[in-house]
Amino acid sequence: MDQTLIEKRKLIIDSLKTIYDPEIALNIWDLGLVYGVDVTTEGVVTVVMTLTSPNCPAIDILPQQIEDMVESLDFVTNFKLNLVWDPPWDKTLMSEEARLELGLL
Protein backbone atom coordinates (compact mmCIF):
# COMPACT_ATOMS: atom_id res chain seq x y z
CA MET A 1 0.00 0.00 0.00
CA ASP A 2 1.52 3.33 -1.00
CA GLN A 3 2.00 6.17 1.48
CA THR A 4 -0.99 8.13 0.20
CA LEU A 5 -3.32 5.17 0.70
CA ILE A 6 -1.86 4.58 4.16
CA GLU A 7 -2.59 8.21 5.05
CA LYS A 8 -6.14 7.97 3.67
CA ARG A 9 -6.74 4.75 5.61
CA LYS A 10 -5.55 6.51 8.77
CA LEU A 11 -7.99 9.38 8.10
CA ILE A 12 -10.82 6.87 7.74
CA ILE A 13 -9.85 5.13 10.99
CA ASP A 14 -9.60 8.47 12.79
CA SER A 15 -13.11 9.27 11.54
CA LEU A 16 -14.42 5.92 12.75
CA LYS A 17 -12.96 6.65 16.17
CA THR A 18 -15.42 9.55 16.47
CA ILE A 19 -18.43 7.21 16.23
CA TYR A 20 -19.55 5.82 19.57
CA ASP A 21 -21.66 2.81 20.40
CA PRO A 22 -24.69 4.37 22.12
CA GLU A 23 -24.96 1.62 24.73
CA ILE A 24 -21.34 1.17 25.71
CA ALA A 25 -20.15 4.77 25.18
CA LEU A 26 -16.88 3.71 23.55
CA ASN A 27 -15.90 4.31 19.95
CA ILE A 28 -16.48 1.52 17.46
CA TRP A 29 -12.79 1.19 16.61
CA ASP A 30 -11.64 0.61 20.20
CA LEU A 31 -14.59 -1.70 20.78
CA GLY A 32 -13.21 -3.90 18.01
CA LEU A 33 -16.34 -3.68 15.91
CA VAL A 34 -14.36 -2.78 12.78
CA TYR A 35 -12.65 -5.80 11.26
CA GLY A 36 -11.19 -4.10 8.21
CA VAL A 37 -10.79 -0.83 6.32
CA ASP A 38 -9.73 -0.76 2.69
CA VAL A 39 -9.29 2.19 0.36
CA THR A 40 -8.36 2.08 -3.32
CA THR A 41 -6.53 4.65 -5.42
CA GLU A 42 -9.93 5.43 -7.00
CA GLY A 43 -11.36 6.39 -3.60
CA VAL A 44 -13.51 3.32 -3.06
CA VAL A 45 -13.70 2.61 0.67
CA THR A 46 -14.83 -0.69 2.13
CA VAL A 47 -15.41 -1.15 5.84
CA VAL A 48 -15.98 -4.63 7.24
CA MET A 49 -17.53 -4.60 10.67
CA THR A 50 -19.81 -6.34 13.11
CA LEU A 51 -21.95 -5.34 16.05
CA THR A 52 -21.89 -6.71 19.57
CA SER A 53 -24.79 -9.00 18.61
CA PRO A 54 -27.27 -9.47 15.76
CA ASN A 55 -29.93 -8.06 18.10
CA CYS A 56 -27.95 -4.90 18.83
CA PRO A 57 -30.34 -1.93 18.95
CA ALA A 58 -27.69 0.21 17.23
CA ILE A 59 -28.10 -1.78 14.01
CA ASP A 60 -30.32 0.99 12.66
CA ILE A 61 -27.98 3.79 13.77
CA LEU A 62 -24.32 2.85 13.47
CA PRO A 63 -24.18 1.78 9.80
CA GLN A 64 -25.71 5.11 8.71
CA GLN A 65 -23.37 7.09 10.97
CA ILE A 66 -20.39 5.24 9.49
CA GLU A 67 -21.57 5.82 5.93
CA ASP A 68 -22.16 9.52 6.56
CA MET A 69 -18.78 9.97 8.25
CA VAL A 70 -16.73 8.14 5.63
CA GLU A 71 -18.56 9.71 2.70
CA SER A 72 -17.83 13.16 4.13
CA LEU A 73 -14.11 12.64 3.46
CA ASP A 74 -13.20 14.50 0.27
CA PHE A 75 -11.28 11.63 -1.37
CA VAL A 76 -14.08 9.05 -1.03
CA THR A 77 -15.87 8.33 -4.31
CA ASN A 78 -17.79 5.25 -3.22
CA PHE A 79 -18.48 3.57 0.11
CA LYS A 80 -19.33 -0.03 0.91
CA LEU A 81 -20.17 -1.37 4.35
CA ASN A 82 -20.02 -5.10 4.87
CA LEU A 83 -21.80 -6.03 8.09
CA VAL A 84 -20.68 -9.52 9.12
CA TRP A 85 -21.43 -11.85 12.02
CA ASP A 86 -18.52 -14.23 11.58
CA PRO A 87 -16.36 -14.10 13.50
CA PRO A 88 -18.74 -13.01 16.23
CA TRP A 89 -17.70 -10.03 18.32
CA ASP A 90 -16.38 -10.65 21.83
CA LYS A 91 -14.58 -8.52 24.38
CA THR A 92 -11.16 -9.86 23.36
CA LEU A 93 -11.47 -7.73 20.20
CA MET A 94 -11.50 -4.52 22.26
CA SER A 95 -8.40 -2.37 22.53
CA GLU A 96 -6.51 -2.43 25.80
CA GLU A 97 -7.68 1.14 26.47
CA ALA A 98 -11.33 0.13 26.03
CA ARG A 99 -10.97 -2.90 28.30
CA LEU A 100 -9.28 -0.72 30.90
CA GLU A 101 -12.04 1.90 30.71
CA LEU A 102 -14.68 -0.77 31.22
CA GLY A 103 -12.76 -2.35 34.07
CA LEU A 104 -12.07 -5.57 32.21
CA LEU A 105 -8.31 -5.61 32.88
Q: Which residues of 66-79 are buried (b: 16+ CB within 10 A; e: fewer)?
A: beebbeebeebeeb
Domain of 10 in residue numbering reads as: 3-99
* Position 104 confidence tier, pLDDT thresholds 50, 70, 90: confident
Q: What's the confidence (pLDDT) of residue 1?
A: 67
80 located within any domain: yes
Global pTM value: 0.92
- Residue-wise pLDDT for 60-100, tens only, equals 899 999 999 999 999 999 999 999 999 999 999 999 999 99
Sequence length of the chain is: 105
CATH number at residue 33: 3.30.300.130
* Position 3 confidence tier, pLDDT thresholds 50, 70, 90: confident
Q: What's the confidence (pLDDT) of residue 103?
A: 87
- Residue-wise pLDDT for 14-69, tens only, equals 999 999 998 888 999 999 999 999 999 999 999 999 999 999 888 989 999 999 99
105 located within any domain: no
Domain count, the chain: 1
SS3 34: strand
* Phi-psi category of residue 25: left, alpha or beta, with phi > 0 → left and psi -120 to 50 → alpha: left
Q: What's the confidence (pLDDT) of residue 24?
A: 85
